[in-house]
Amino acid sequence: MTSFPAILRSEWTKIRSVRSTVWTLALTFVVTVGIGALLSLLTNNNFTEFRRSDQSPFDATGTSFSGIMLGELAIIVFGVLAIGNEYSTGMIRVTLAAVPQRGTLLTGKATVLGAMALVVSVVTAFVTFFLGQALLGSHATGLGEPHVLRAVFGAALYLTLLCLFSAGVTTMLHNQTLALGVLVPFFFLLSPILSAVPKVKTLAHYFPDYAGSRMLLVYEQHGQPYGPWTGFVICLAWTLAALVGGALVLKSRDA
C-alpha cells in the first residue's frame, strides 16, 4: 500500500505549485472580505435610509457576510480546478500509475483540499466578521452575542463543504469544463430561482447551498423550514454523497 502521509504531501505539492488553484483561494478571501467591508460601510453611512421599511431586527453579522455569494463562487471554482485539472491535462493517468489505490487517493485529495479550504475559510470568516463590524460602527454586534460565533464558524464550514461538494461532483463528471458548466449555473441561477418559486421551493430548500447557508443565520427567519444544525447536516450529507459518488466513478472507470 502506498503510504497515506505520502499521498497527502504529494497532493499538497500539486495544489500549491499551480497558480490558478492558489489564486482562486486567494480570491475567496479577497472577495468575501472586500464586499462584506464595502456593504458594512455603506450600511453604516445610510443606516436610517436602508432600514426605514424593515421591521425585522438588524443582522450585523449577515451584513458583514454580504460577499459570501461571490466568495462561494471562487471556492467552488477552486474545488473544481483542483480535481478537474488532472482530467483536462491527462495527468490523472500519471497520478493513478503512481497511486493505484484509487479510493485512498481520493480520500487523500479530499483531505488536503478540505484542510486548505477550511483554513482559508476560517481566516476569511473571522477577518470578514471583524472588519465588517468595525465598519458598522455603532450598529455592530460582537462574538459574544447569541448565535454570532456559530454563524461565523458556520460561514467557514459552509464554504468548505461547498468546495468539497464541487470536488466530488467534478470527480463524478471527470471533466473540468463540464463540472463548471453544471455547478456554476446550478448555484447561481437554478438554486436561487427555484428557492423563490412557490411549491418548488420546498424542494430547493434541501439543496446543499440553501441548507448550508442556514448555518449563517443569527435570527430566525419567517417561514424557515429548519434550523442551522439541520442545515449543516443536510449540506454535509450532500458533500459526502458527492465524494462517495466520485470515488465509485473513479474506481470503476478506465482512466
Interface positions with another protein (CB under 8 A): 1-3, 6-7, 9-11, 13-14, 17-20, 85-86, 89-101, 254-255
Least distance between another protein and beta carbon 121 (Å): 24
Cβ proximity to another protein: between 15 and 60 the closer is 15
Cβ proximity to another protein: between 109 and 205 the closer is 109
Alpha helices by DSSP H, the chain: 4-16, 19-45, 47-51, 60-64, 68-89, 91-98, 102-136, 148-173, 176-185, 191-194, 200-204, 208-213, 228-252
Task: Centre a 10 Å sphere on the Cβ of residue 250 and count the other Cβ atoms it contains.
Answer: 20
Under a CB-based contact definition with an 8 Å cutoff, are residues 11 and 109 in contact?
A: yes
Q: What is the C-alpha separation between 219 and 149, in angstroms, rounded?
A: 13
Cβ proximity to another protein: between 86 and 209 the closer is 86
Least distance between another protein and beta carbon 246 (Å): 17
Cβ proximity to another protein: between 18 and 38 the closer is 18
Task: Look at the block and give the residue holding cell 472507470.
Answer: 253
Least distance between another protein and beta carbon 177 (Å): 16
Least distance between another protein and beta carbon 222 (Å): 48
Q: What's the distance, CA 45 to chain centroid?
A: 30
